Amino acid sequence: MSLYGGVTGCVSDYNATRVVSPYASNSTYVDWRDRNVVGPVENQGSCGSCVPFCVSGTVETNHAITTGEYYNGSAGYLLECMDCPSEWGFYNPCTYRCDGGWSSFTLKYAQAYGVPTESDYPYSSDNRSGIANSCADNGSMEKPINSMVGDGRVYACRSVSQCRDALQKGVVTFSFYVESWFYSYNSGIIPKDSCAQNESTNHCVYAIGYGTTSTGATYVIVKNSWGSNWGDAGYFKMEISDEYSQGVCGSYRNNWLSDHDWVN
């Protein structure tokens, strides 16, 4: 499994008209799977394509929340076809295909240009083997998934209160630093003191909710892209805390509005 990430916890502004109601601001438990807007767990294979998966998952769910239409977004398209315009900034190219990418730019690209469905642009066996081929879209492919709603701004999840507020409105990208013990995770809540407080990230996933422990601590419910046989049916739970300036496992590290953190 290759681990490559991008910015941490991003969600767009949800002031626009929406079909699926947000969770209440005093919610102690949020899980967007209960609203039937989260797709199946997928497997990136040996390609370092966690960013296309975390972004396609984030955008497809937030599109469903906004429009009531769920499409399984194509991570393969974002992997093979995305190229950022030069005017977007210094960090170009903004993707290295199977060798990493920027979740901030990928979110921006998905909103600006849209994403096709997985059925129209499937993640291939070559992709799972670590190969990114030339883009197979000649420009005519329909790209129905482009709703990040609101005014298009993206906000960081860099504190417990910010994360809870964001997750009440939709799902968020979530980058953190994976240590060796994470591979063998299978259930339970990863405690806040389980890893070094890293100043970098190496894996991008997306949070689909949060919960509250009996002691009042907050944990996020996170969807990985390593298949349903990994972890808790493809998911994990991680405590978040404001005790560490960079967040638990570096999960507060990056904010795309001011700080792009390339990881490889």
Mean pLDDT on 188-192: 94
- Check pLDDT > 70 for residue 14: no
Q: Quick check: is 257 in a domain? A: no
Q: Quick check: is 259 in a domain? A: no
Q: List the single range of 89-98, 216-225, 245-254 with lowest mean pLDDT.
A: 245-254
Catalytic residue (choose from 50, 81, 98, 204) = 50
How high is the pLDDT of residue 119? 97
- Catalytic residue status for 84: no
Q: What integer best gives the mean pLDDT of the chain?
A: 83
Q: Specify the pTM.
A: 0.88
- Catalytic residue status for 260: no
Cα dihedral 78, 83, 86, 89 sign: positive
pLDDT digits (tens, 9 = 90+) for 202-226: 899 999 999 999 999 999 999 999 9
How high is the pLDDT of residue 71? 93
Q: How confident is the model at residue 101 (pLDDT cuts 50, 70, 90)?
A: confident
Catalytic residue (choose from 127, 224, 254, 255) = 224
The pLDDT > 70 percentage for the chain reads 82
Q: Quick check: is 38 in a domain? A: yes
- Check pLDDT > 70 for residue 236: yes
Q: Quick check: is 143 in a domain? A: yes
The parent domain of residue 81 ranges over: 10-250
Mean pLDDT on 135-150: 82
- Catalytic residue status for 203: yes
Q: Quick check: is 261 in a domain? A: no
Q: Are 158 and 11 in contact (CB under 8 A)?
A: no
Q: Quick check: is 193 in a domain? A: yes
Catalytic residue (choose from 203, 204, 249, 260) = 203
Q: Quick check: is 180 in a domain? A: yes
Q: Quick check: is 179 in a domain? A: yes
- Check pLDDT > 80 for residue 51: yes
Which of the two residues, 30 and 172, has the higher pLDDT score?
Answer: 30
- Helix (H) or strand (E) holding 190, with range, is strand 189-190
- Check pLDDT > 70 for residue 154: no
Q: What residues have CB less than 8 Å from 68, skipping those under 6 apart?
A: 19, 20
Look at strands 10-12 and 189-190 and give their pairing: unpaired
How many domains are there within the chain? 1
d(CA 161, CA 216): 13
Query: Taking each helix axis from N to C terminus, what angle separates 50-67 and 103-113, rounded to the nearest 10 degrees?
Result: 40
Q: List the single range of 115-124, 131-140, 163-172, 182-191 with lowest mean pLDDT.
A: 163-172
Q: How confident is the model at residue 191 (pLDDT cuts 50, 70, 90)?
A: very high
